[in-house]
């Protein structure tokens, strides 16, 4: 598996969550995992005020009463400096252009299309998912938009995931199951580009373009 894991902003926009994410990712960095954040989110933290980020915080935090100030944004900036930044290349953007156009449209979001920053983050997460493989998140609502935009998705609950893995391979320190276990401490949802190798592949999905898997630990 890739040793890069993208952190969804939902893991970074609340005081408790930010501190927990900082602690849990630190443990994995020590064993060689590289955590990245979307470029648009990184740029907004470093160049915007708390007011500029308010709509994104509302979306990823999931509630309206966001007690954010410039001091909090400063802390967020300091902590996220420890993470790498995922910057999609022009070629990657072109490769996913058609799907990203659908993903950004009214057919997917209805009358409540989020502001440009949120859309940029969601688009970059889609590209990373299919270029870098793993995302961990506290929420799943924007990943459901991938499905609404037409991407096929395999969904696994915790029992199904563990049963499949136990049946497929023996546990080793560097096995993906170990990574899944560790990522469970970081966020609720684990999203994988394509089909996890430990999963049986339904024939109808074998060659499906844009396929991703959603693990509910």
Q: Which residue has the tokens 């708390």?
A: 50
pLDDT in tens, the chain (217 residues): 457 899 999 998 877 788 888 888 888 887 788 899 999 999 888 875 555 677 888 888 866 445 556 666 777 888 888 899 999 999 999 999 999 999 999 889 988 888 889 999 999 999 998 886 789 999 989 999 999 999 888 787 776 666 655 554 455 545 555 666 667 778 888 888 865 544 555 544 444 557 888 887 6
Residues with Cβ < 8 Å from 115, sequence gap 6 or more? 55, 56
The tokens of 135 are what? 């995302």
This prediction has a pTM of 0.84
3-state secondary structure labels for all residues of 161-183: HHHHHHHHCCCCCCCHHHHHHHH
Q: Tell me if 60 sits within 8 A of 18, measured CB to CB.
A: no
Q: Tell me if 89 sits within 8 A of 127, measured CB to CB.
A: no
C-alpha torsion sign, points 95, 131, 214, 10: negative
């Amino acid at each position: 598996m890739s040793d890069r894991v993208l952190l969804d902003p939902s893991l970074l926009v609340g005081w408790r969550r930010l501190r927990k994410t900082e602690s849990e990712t630190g443990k994995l960095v020590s064993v060689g995992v590289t955590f990245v954040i979307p470029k648009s989110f990184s740029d907004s933290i470093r160049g915007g005020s708390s007011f500029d980020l308010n709509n994104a915080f509302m979306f990823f935090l999931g509630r309206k009463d966001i007690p954010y100030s410039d001091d909090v944004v400063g802390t967020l900036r300091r902590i996220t400096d420890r993470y790498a930044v995922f910057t999609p290349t022009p070629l990657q953007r072109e490769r996913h252009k058609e799907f990203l156009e659908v993903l950004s449209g009214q057919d997917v979001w209805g009358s409540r299309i989020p502001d440009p920053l949120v859309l940029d983050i969601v688009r970059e997460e889609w590209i990373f998912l299919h270029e870098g493989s793993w995302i961990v998140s506290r929420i799943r609502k924007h990943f459901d938009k991938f499905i609404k935009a037409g991407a096929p998705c395999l969904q696994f609950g915790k029992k199904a995931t563990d049963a499949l893995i136990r049946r497929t391979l023996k546990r080793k320190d560097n096995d993906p199951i170990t990574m899944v276990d560790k990522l469970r401490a970081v966020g609720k949802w684990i999203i994988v580009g394509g089909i996890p190798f430990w999963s049986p592949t339904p024939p109808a999905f074998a060659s499906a373009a844009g396929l991703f898997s959603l693990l509910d630990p």
